[in-house]
């Protein structure tokens, strides 16, 4: 992982061609709280409909997020859905001149009906597919291959995403691989669930998941990821189809890499809270292609793909995972840092990503030295006010200045770990300044939360939050609860320093608000 982290620090833009089945993923979200009167069937009261690029289009989006210059080569119908796919791709800088229109077939649409009961976590109820899986007609096939030929100029790698929706049938996939081999360009294939992999013969690499590999070979994968058993399955694919590297993805067991001439390598995954496995295969393909284009060896590229896919399953639906988030996760694996702890730059990037997804950002801050029920009440109330709660804590040095030489009782690392363990907290960061005003200015939260014992004038950053239309919320504190009281009851000599006017001016004052009044 250290070598991978070093490679990620020297990451460069690259050019990739994505070929395959382009789709539109449509999510119809609503409330599912009753059954119909005439049958035991849930009723979905629709609240929202979202559309995102799927299949090969999702691979393009993932690659764009990884810093690639992407060219899309595929087929869409002459319909609103096809135009939506093209528009979404172009909005992320994907070149779509190779995305041809075939009026004889519809754009493939996967429409998921997702219901919530009692405002709980959404659950997929049903899926409706609109598609044509026939092989392309002669004219469409000719136009597609011509577009692919043009796209190869300057390309560093080709990614093939096959959902067996027809585009790669009829010799198209064979032609794509042959042309890549002639041009000396690596081609990585995410295969469909097929019993015959002959269309992938000669590919540089192939990335079947457990069930796809079993279907293709007739062999079982080992339930406990036995290396010898799974390597035999991967070797069967490799030898039968002239493939250099087989990357067998094994869900919770990570992945197995079998590179020609090398011993099999098991790449373990990190235990994660899985919300939705949709798009994990697309992310593996995108990350492998990105890694190889950036000069990673196969082992490092598989580790990168494993990390990226792990982050993908933690989100609901398909969402591109940006490079800086992957880099941060790799760094966390190397250093052992808690996943909720962010540096300032990392946090700014994460906030930007979540804001782009329509999430409401909430910010609160304090010493949070000896955590008590009053702190927990404030944090839980803050989390209810938005989607992503940031808790910023003072450095040990600043706590000593403000609270006295015997404070903090717990150092900043331990305080960050304890806060990170709270379910309501999404991110923890440490600020070195006297107040978090500078951090608030950079993050621009939608809601700023402090205890009600603070007046509006003594909440740093409050006026700035209000200036961009945000809210400042003062939460009543639990009576009789404070860190100082708890520390005294523990018998620790931690007399609080006398708070001078100068110190109050430094640590508890909204200078921006006062500057506005004076002007």
b/e map 377-403, b = 16+ CB within 10 Å: bbbebbbebbebbbbbbbbbebbebbb
Rounded Cα gap, residues 164 and 364, in angstroms: 49
Residue 356 to residues 50, 319, 353, 398: CA-CA distances in angstroms?
14, 11, 5, 34
Q: In what order do the strands lie in the sheet with 388-394?
A: 427-431, 388-394, 361-366, 447-451, 471-475
Rounded Cα gap, residues 287 and 301, in angstroms: 7
Sign for the pseudo-dihedral over CA of 285, 287, 291, 293? positive
Residue 510 to residues 412, 438, 459: CA-CA distances in angstroms?
24, 11, 6
Asked whether the beta carbons of 299 and 265 are under 8 A apart, the reply is: yes
Q: What is the DSSP string of 112-169?
A: EEEEESTT-S-EEEEEEEE---SPPPHHHHHHHHHHHHHHTTT-SEEEEE--SSSTTT
Asked whether the beta carbons of 459 and 472 are under 8 A apart, the reply is: yes
- Other Cβ atoms within 10 Å of 54 Cβ, number: 26
Q: Which one of the listed residues 276, 282, 324, 426 is annotated catalytic?
A: 282
State the helix-helix crossing angle for 280-293 and 298-312, rounded to 10 degrees. 150
Q: Is 282 a catalytic residue?
A: yes
Sign for the pseudo-dihedral over CA of 427, 428, 433, 434? positive
Asked whether the beta carbons of 510 and 462 are under 8 A apart, the reply is: yes
- Other Cβ atoms within 10 Å of 340 Cβ, number: 19
Closest Cα to residue 101, out of 77, 128, 67? 77
Residue 236 to residues 74, 246, 298, 482: CA-CA distances in angstroms?
30, 10, 19, 65
Rounded Cα gap, residues 519 and 432, in angstroms: 29
Rounded Cα gap, residues 458 and 463, in angstroms: 10
Rounded Cα gap, residues 347 and 390, in angstroms: 9
Q: Residue 229 burial by CB count (10 A; 0-12/13-18/19+): exposed, middle or buried?
A: middle
Active-site annotation, residues: 282
């Amino acid at each position: 992982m250290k070598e991978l982290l070093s490679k990620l620090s020297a990451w460069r833009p690259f050019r990739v061609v994505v070929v395959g089945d382009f789709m539109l993923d449509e999510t119809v979200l609503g409330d599912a709280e009753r059954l119909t009167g005439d049958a035991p069937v849930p009723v979905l009261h629709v609240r929202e409909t979202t559309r995102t690029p799927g299949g090969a289009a999702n691979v393009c989006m993932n690659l764009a997020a990884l810093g690639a210059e992407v060219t899309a080569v595929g087929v869409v119908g002459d319909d609103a859905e096809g135009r939506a796919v093209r528009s979404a791709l172009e909005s992320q800088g994907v070149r779509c001149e190779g995305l041809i229109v075939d009026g004889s077939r519809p754009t493939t649409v996967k429409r998921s009906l997702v219901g919530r009961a009692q405002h709980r976590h959404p659950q997929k109820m049903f899926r409706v597919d609109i598609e044509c899986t026939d092989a392309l007609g002669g004219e469409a096939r000719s136009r597609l291959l011509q577009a692919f030929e043009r796209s190869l100029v300057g390309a560093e790698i080709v990614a093939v995403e096959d959902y067996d929706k027809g585009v790669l049938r009829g010799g198209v996939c064979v032609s794509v691989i042959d042309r890549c081999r002639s041009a000396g360009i690596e081609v990585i294939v995410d295969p469909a669930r097929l019993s015959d992999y002959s269309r992938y013969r000669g590919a540089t690499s192939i990335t079947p998941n457990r069930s796809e590999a079993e279907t293709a070979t007739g062999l079982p994968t080992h339930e406990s990821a036995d290396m010898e058993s799974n390597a035999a399955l991967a070797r069967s694919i490799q030898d039968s189809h002239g493939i250099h590297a087989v990357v067998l993805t094994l869900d919770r067991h990570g992945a197995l890499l079998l590179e020609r001439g090398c011993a099999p390598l098991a790449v373990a995954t990190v235990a994660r809270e899985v919300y939705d496995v949709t798009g994990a295969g697309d992310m593996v393909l995108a990350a492998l292609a990105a890694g190889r284009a950036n000069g990673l060896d196969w082992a490092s590229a598989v580790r990168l793909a494993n990390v990226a896919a792990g982050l993908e399953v933690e989100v609901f639906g398909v969402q591109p995972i940006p490079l800086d988030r992957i880099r941060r996760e790799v760094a966390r694996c190397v250093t052992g840092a808690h996943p909720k702890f962010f540096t300032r730059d990392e946090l700014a990037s994460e906030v930007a990503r979540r804001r782009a997804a329509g999430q409401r950002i909430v910010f609160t801050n304090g010493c949070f030295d000896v955590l008590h029920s009053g702190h927990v009440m404030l944090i839980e109330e803050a989390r209810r006010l938005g989607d992503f709660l940031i808790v910023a804590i003072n450095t040990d040095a600043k706590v000593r200045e403000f609270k006295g030489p015997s404070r903090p009782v717990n150092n900043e690392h331990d305080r960050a770990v304890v806060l990170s363990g709270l379910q309501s907290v999404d991110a923890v960061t440490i600020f070195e300044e006297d107040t978090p005003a500078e951090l608030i200015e950079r993050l621009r939260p939608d809601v700023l939360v402090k205890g009600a014992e603070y007046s509006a004038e003594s909440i740093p950053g409050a006026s700035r939050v209000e200036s961009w239309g945000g809210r400042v919320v003062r939460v009543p504190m639990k009576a009789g609860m404070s860190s100082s009281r708890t520390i005294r009851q523990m018998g620790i000599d931690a007399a609080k320093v006398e708070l001078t006017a100068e110190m109050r001016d430094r640590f508890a004052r909204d200078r921006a608000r006062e500057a506005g009044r004076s002007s």
